[in-house]
A and B are shown apart, each in its own frame.
Chain A
Amino acid sequence: MSAVPLLEARKVGFRYGRNSCLFKGLDLTLHEGEFLAVVGPSGCGKTSLLKILGGFLTPGSGTVYRQGLPVQSPSPHAVMVFQEFDQLFPWKRVWSNVAFPLKAGGKISVSEDPAAADPSEKKGPDRPREIDRRVEEILREVGLYEFRRYFPYQLSGGMKQRTALARSLVSRPPILLMDEPFGSLDAQKREELQGLLLRMWDEHGFSVVFVTHDISEALVLADRIMVMRLPEEKAGEEGGPGTAAAGGRGPCASDDSVQSIFLDIDLPRPRVPQSPVFREYYRRIFRLLGQEGVDDRDSSQ
């Protein structure tokens, strides 16, 4: 394991419009194999942060580094998974949706042998067979191989998210950036998919930044949780980023932007939400989000 973090945000800031500040001076580090969850109320900029980490948005200030190199644009090394079901191509069957990164994407190696992992291998005669093998493997892993000929509209919400998960992992990226991926599912499906994600994380060893507003979900999944809190006067106010912008959070004064606090979750998996330690963690995060108990900051890293 190298000393350089897999993903690192240094003093990252982002604003909507000219005068309103979402967050600034935000630091974040993702280590190899780590599962980091980001929780926070809606409108605190969780999604924007994730998009900045992925290179989809340019930060207003600061820099994001991936394996030590500044991130300028999206890359197959850090794959986004969204909450919305429309992230699947309606005109592609499950199989083609999952094969998409390997077939259409640029320069992704499909070889098992790391030594052969150079772009020229792409043209090799084995590539189509190798792609088929990889797609079949990942579809069996998410339990959708029997549904490979279905179009997205024929799938349930859970199956759609399984397809999206398979597509994001088929190219074996080191980083997964997940934006409330299970947010539109019912409780049972959500639990199923959390288990699936943890199993795959365990087996494949990728790292995850997982955005959610559900404290329990973050606690079930993550090694570490980043809590984003709105500044004092905004606490308790509901509203998305649009409201925040319209409300005019004002220029980025020192204590006027979103704060972040990190918590290590020292709980063995599988985690049981009914356990006393779990509930203690839950209460602590809840208090952090609720703006009370600034004294809890002693447990941040």
Chain B
Amino acid sequence: MSTNAELSERGRRRRQIGVVLLLLIIWEAAARLSGVSPLLFPPVSEVVRTLISDLGRGVLPGRIGYSLLIVAEGVGIGLAAALLLSLAGHANRHIGMAVDTLVALMHPLPGIALLPIVILWAGVGHTAVLLIIVHSVLWPLTTSITAGIRTIAQHLYDVSRNFRLNPARMAVHLIVPGIFPHMMSGMRIGWARAWRALIAAEMVFGAAGGGGGIGWYIFQKRVFMDTRGLFAGILVIMLIGILFESYLFDAVERITIRKWGVSR
């Protein structure tokens, strides 16, 4: 990447932070000057104070950890299943067609629409939330991994056949790095869907089993009419979303597909 691109990237980030600060100032001023009850619309400074105190008391870190853990679990299962489906589809034309059809049917279905059935089948515990997350990531990942396998250059398959790679080495040296660019875009979509589905599911289910996630945190705050806490929860969800979508995925791409010159 050229220095120019890096500079403009940094400039963009700086302007984004400027916009955020401006919004926060407007929020603060509007809350303080409008005379609306802080129970309905608390100033941002109060929200941040609640946020910091809940972080310090360990309430929020526990909730965040719970949410992230269950998303990680669901994405892991979804990724493994997507790999299996796409590889099976690649190996056999008929399976491929079946997988394509299945994806076309399931992909447009929002996870939240499955909630009643999932509750019926798996109750309201950990398994139910996990099922929703797996559903959210599985289909977009299958689509992108299937596309990824198709875009691997035929010559690379030929080279691998030429040196008689066994299937395991074929996967390590060819398939996994070959699908990486597509897998990353699938992960971005999958993650975004999983994160939204998780929060929604948590707010419907409430606490699942041992504890609840960040969605449950917001749910509780509503019960106790703790508006500042409600806003704090929303801020946390936004921040984690940004952290993943703008930083974590970028970082992974920088050390993989951008380094290899196969993206941007």
Q: Interface readout for A94-119 with B: 1 if CB under 8 Å, 0 if not? A: 00000011001111100000000000
Contact B155 A84 (CB under 8 A): yes
**Closest beta carbon of chain A to B164's beta carbon, Å:** 4
Q: How far is the CA of A105 from the CA of B172 in the complex (A)?
A: 12
**Closest beta carbon of chain A to B246's beta carbon, Å:** 24
Q: Which residues 56-83 in A have Cβ within 8 Å of B in the complex? A: 56, 73-76, 79-80, 82
Contact A105 B163 (CB under 8 A): yes
We find that the number of chain B residues with CB closer than 8 angstroms to chain A is: 24
How many interface contacts (CB-CB < 8 Å) are there between A and B? 73
Q: Which residues 142-182 in A have Cβ within 8 Å of B in the complex? A: 151-154, 167, 171
Contact residues of A: prevailing secondary structure = loop
Contact A87 B163 (CB under 8 A): no
Contact B163 A91 (CB under 8 A): no
Instruction: Please name all residues of chain B whose beta carbon is closer than 8 Å to the beta carbon of A171 when the two chains form the complex.
Output: 163
Contact A154 B261 (CB under 8 A): yes
Instruction: Please name all residues of chain B whose beta carbon is closer than 8 Å to the beta carbon of A90 when the two chains form the complex.
Output: 260-262
Q: Which residues 73-110 in B have Cβ within 8 Å of A in the complex? A: none
Contact A74 B158 (CB under 8 A): yes
Contact A106 B165 (CB under 8 A): yes
We find that the number of chain A residues with CB closer than 8 angstroms to chain B is: 28
**Closest beta carbon of chain B to A273's beta carbon, Å:** 30
Instruction: Please name all residues of chain A whose beta carbon is closer than 8 Å to the beta carbon of B155 when the two chains form the complex.
Output: 82, 84, 86-87
Q: How far is the CA of A205 from the CA of B259 in the complex (A)?
A: 38
Contact A74 B164 (CB under 8 A): yes
Instruction: Please name all residues of chain A whose beta carbon is closer than 8 Å to the beta carbon of B161 when the two chains form the complex.
Output: 56, 73-74
Q: How far is the CA of A107 from the CA of B165 in the complex (A)?
A: 10
Instruction: Please name all residues of chain A whose beta carbon is closer than 8 Å to the beta carbon of B19 when the two chains form the complex.
Output: none
Contact B261 A75 (CB under 8 A): no
- A206 located at the interface, meaning its Cβ lies under 8 Å from any Cβ of chain B in the complex: no
Instruction: Please name all residues of chain B whose beta carbon is closer than 8 Å to the beta carbon of A91 when the two chains form the complex.
Output: 177-178, 180, 256, 260, 262
- B248 located at the interface, meaning its Cβ lies under 8 Å from any Cβ of chain A in the complex: no
Contact B164 A87 (CB under 8 A): no
Given A151-B261, A154-B261: A89 in contact with B173 (beta carbons within 8 A): yes
- B159 located at the interface, meaning its Cβ lies under 8 Å from any Cβ of chain A in the complex: yes
Contact A89 B163 (CB under 8 A): no
B174 closest partner in A (C-beta): A89
- A45 located at the interface, meaning its Cβ lies under 8 Å from any Cβ of chain B in the complex: no
A96 closest partner in B (C-beta): B173
Instruction: Please name all residues of chain B whose beta carbon is closer than 8 Å to the beta carbon of A87 when the two chains form the complex.
Output: 153, 155-156, 158-159
Contact B260 A104 (CB under 8 A): no
- B162 located at the interface, meaning its Cβ lies under 8 Å from any Cβ of chain A in the complex: yes
Q: Interface readout for B201-216 with A: 1 if CB under 8 Å, 0 if not? A: 0000000000000000
Instruction: Select which of A80, A100, A101, A153 is within 8 A of B158 by beta carbon.
Output: A80
Given A104-B173, A152-B261, A154-B261: A86 in contact with B163 (beta carbons within 8 A): no
- A40 located at the interface, meaning its Cβ lies under 8 Å from any Cβ of chain B in the complex: no
- A54 located at the interface, meaning its Cβ lies under 8 Å from any Cβ of chain B in the complex: yes
Contact B165 A104 (CB under 8 A): yes
**Closest beta carbon of chain B to A119's beta carbon, Å:** 12
Offer 18 A-B interface pairs, CB within 8 angstroms, sorted by A: A73-B161, A74-B164, A75-B162, A79-B163, A80-B159, A86-B153, A87-B158, A87-B159, A91-B177, A91-B178, A100-B173, A104-B160, A106-B166, A107-B164, A108-B163, A151-B261, A153-B260, A171-B163
